[in-house]
Every structure is written in C-alpha cells, then in structure tokens.
Amino acid sequence: MTMHRIGTIGYGNMGSLWARQFASDPRWELVHVCEKDPNRRKAVAKLSPDIIVSDDPDAIFSDPSITAVGLYTLADDRPGQIRNALATGKHVVAEKPIASAPALERELLKEIESSDRLVAVNLFNRNAWYHHDIHAFIEKGEIGRPGIVRICHMTPGRLPYQGHGPEGPVFRDCGMHYVDVARWYAGSEYEHWHAQGVRMWSERDPWWVTAHGHFQNGVVFEITVGFVYGQMAQRWTNRSYFEVIGTQGIARFEHDFADVRLEMHGVHETVHKTNPYGGKKIDVMVDLFTRSLDTGRDLGLPTARDSVVASTIAQQMHDDAATRCPPCIGDEDELAHIIKNKPKW
C-alpha cells in the first residue's frame, strides 16, 4: 500500500474536518498543518503530536516529501496556493470556489488543465450515495429520458454581513453546488435562464434567489437557494429537496441534514430508502482522491472545471436576479433584531 504525505492549509470549520479525515486514514500521513490563528494551531496539536504545526504555507510547498496539499482557506487565498502547489509538483484537493471571482477562476483553470497534477474540488453532492443511487436508476432506463430537474435548498443559514466575502453572495457560495448538480444530471451546458431574487431585510444582495431555464439539450431546470428560511424560528428547520422527472418515471429525495428519504418510481422498480445524510462526504472524497492517485488517473473526482463552470453560472444567475430590481422585504431594524436575538439551535 502506498503511503501518501499531505500538508493542509487552513484549520477552520472545513479544514479541521479534512485534517481529521486524513489523519485517520491509514493510506495518508498528515505531515504539516498551516493555520494563522494560534488557538486553532493548539487544536491541531491535540490531533497528533507528530504533525508539524505552523503559520507558514511556504514550508508545505517547499517540502519535497509532501505529495499533495489540501486548501481550506478563503477563496481569495486559493489561486496563489494552487499555483504554488502546481509549481512544486503537488496534487491538490480544495474547497470551492477556487478564486474570489469567476474571471480569476477561469484564468486559473487554464493553468490547472495544462498541468499533469490532479486537482480536485469539493463539490460534495457528487460524492453523495443518494445521487449515485438515482444516477444508477436513470442509467437502467427506469425513468425514461430525464426532462426536468428541480432543486430547492433553503435554510436559516448565515445572515447578511456575517459571511465570507471572498466566497461571494449566497447563490454563488452555496448555490453553485446545486447549479453543478443540475448540470451533472442534464449532461449538458446551460443555455438560457431567468432569475428572481428578494432583498430580505434591505440587504445589498438578494439572500434568496430562484432560477429556471433550460440546457442546450432541452432539459429544463428550476433551482431555489436561500438563507431566509426561519431565521427566528423556535426550532431549527430547513427545506431541501431534489427531483428529476423523466418521460416515464421520477426519482426524488428530501433531507433534514440527518437523514435522506429517497423515493424512485420507475417502470419496473419502486424504491423507498432512508439512510444517513452523511454531511459533506469528506470520507468519500478522500477515498476517491486516494484511489485516483494510486491508479494514476482520475476515477471520477469533482474537477476544477466542474467547479469553475458552476461558480460562473451561479454568479451570472445571481447577477441576473440582482439587476431585476428585486423587491425588498423587511428592513435593517429587523435584521439588527435577528442578529441580536437569533436562536442558538
């Protein structure tokens, strides 16, 4: 068994999850974790005393024994880090988006695709058991020809002015996951859309956006994403569902971040299944990344191109909604009240 050596940059919410996964996988040695925050560096030390902990990312890039880097900082840091990784011959697994603006991502993509290094981006839905079950059902011909894809993802989420600026507005930062899912199922590129947003609480950008349109092959889509779903509700709630409607059958699921309830109604089979949601599926991504390195070829990882296309289209849909004079519901006083009194679920 080949032992791979990795250094990771960023030990925040996502970075800590990735580091723990690499540290627990016998095929990997987590050599070095870079983190600016001293309190987070102390947390890394608790993970393993053998891990080098520093605030110097160059020490990771300059270590020839490290074959891969994990990039879990904010989006404006990632272009330089990806370029350093490629220049030093290291493979990359990163969070999305890979730059703070789609134009910068497209420039970076040229460099990535001209390299022989493996660069994977965490579009977690592509690693989800429920999507793979649906794809297999479709490939068997159970729903006929897919014609309509509908996606809704609404949660309380973060509030305006409390997010990560470099990641962009809600429909880019979060919505790009679902823009990617619809494209994945359609097997085609986006052709046309119309988007509508709402400026909840007088915020600058629409915090809720819905877009509908069609792909070049005629598949129709509808995507709704928003962080406006019950911000002050006594109990946390969400509305997250997916369905693909074919010429002969349908497949759909909904989830509450704990369990996924999957239903597939085909011409020969009817499937009902409930299994755990599985979070961000980092274990699946690490396994696929590892096996791809072992075999010397991409075994189906979410790619930088997938990420850049999703980010670009999501930003364009957001911009479309923003230029249509989105109505404003609520005001700044209400937002201030929510920020001060939002329940801690």
Q: Which tokens is 168 given?
A: 């962009």
Residues 111, 83 contacting (CB under 8 angstroms):
yes
In this structure, the answer to whether residues 189 and 57 fall within a common structural domain is no
Tens of pLDDT, residue by residue over 142-196, are 999 999 999 999 999 888 877 668 888 999 999 999 999 999 999 999 999 999 9
Interatomic CA distance for residues 212 and 170, integer angstroms: 17
Among 66, 91, 117, where does a domain finish?
A: 117
Can you give 287-317 as a three-state secondary structure string? HHHHHHHHHCCCCCCCEHHHHHHHHHHHHHH
Domain boundary among 117, 148, 177: 117
Cα dihedral 100, 12, 180, 198 sign: negative
* CA–CA distance, 74 with 43 (Å, rounded to integer): 19
* Domain range enclosing 110: 4-117
Q: Looking at the structure, do residues 185 and 328 belong to the same domain, yes or no?
A: yes
pLDDT at 2 over 90: no
Give me the mean pLDDT over the 216-243 stretch. 97
Q: pLDDT grade, residue 95 (50/70/90)?
A: very high
- What pLDDT does residue 187 have? 98
Is the dihedral angle over the CA atoms 53, 58, 59, 61 positive or is it negative? positive
Convert the pLDDT of each residue in 202-224 to its tens digit: 888 899 999 999 999 999 999 99
Average pLDDT value over all residues in the chain? 95
Q: Is there a single domain that holds both residue 194 and residue 306? A: yes
Residue range 71-92, pLDDT digits in tens: 999 999 999 999 999 999 999 9
**How far from 262 is each of 59, 134, 226, 254, CA to CA, in Å?**
46, 9, 23, 7
Confidence at residue 163, expressed as pLDDT on a 0 to 100 scale: 60
Domain total in the chain? 2
State whether 138 and 44 are in the same domain.
no
Percent over 70 (pLDDT), the chain: 99
Q: Does 46 score more than 90 pLDDT?
A: no
Task: Indicate the pTM of the whole model.
Answer: 0.96
- Tokens 């996924």 label which residue? 260
Average pLDDT over residues 303-308: 97
Mean pLDDT of 123-152: 98
Residues 108 and 179 in one domain: no
Q: What is the mean pLDDT of residues 277-282?
A: 95
pLDDT tens for residues 59-68?
999 999 999 9
Q: What is the mean pLDDT of residues 20-25?
A: 96
E strands present in 115-249: 119-121, 146-154, 190-200, 208-215, 220-226, 239-246
Same domain, 241 and 306: yes
29 with 141, same domain: the answer is no
What 3-state DSSP class applies to 58? helix
- Residue-level pLDDT at 21: 97
Domain's final residue, options 68, 84, 117: 117
Structure tokens belonging to residue 122:
């965490």
CATH code assigned at 176: 3.30.360.10
Judgement on whether residues 232 and 336 belong to the same structural domain of the protein: yes
Average pLDDT score over residue span 45-74: 95
Whether residue 78 is found in the same domain as residue 187: no
Domain CATH code at residue 44: 3.40.50.720
Out of 131-135, 204-208, 310-314, pick the least confident: 204-208
Of the pLDDT bands very low, low, confident and very high (cuts 50, 70, 90), residue 103 is: very high
Same domain, 201 and 132: yes
10-22 pLDDT, tens digit per residue, is 999 999 999 999 9
279/259 same-domain check: yes
Residues 87 and 219 in one domain: no
What pLDDT was estimated at residue 164?
60
pLDDT at 246: 98
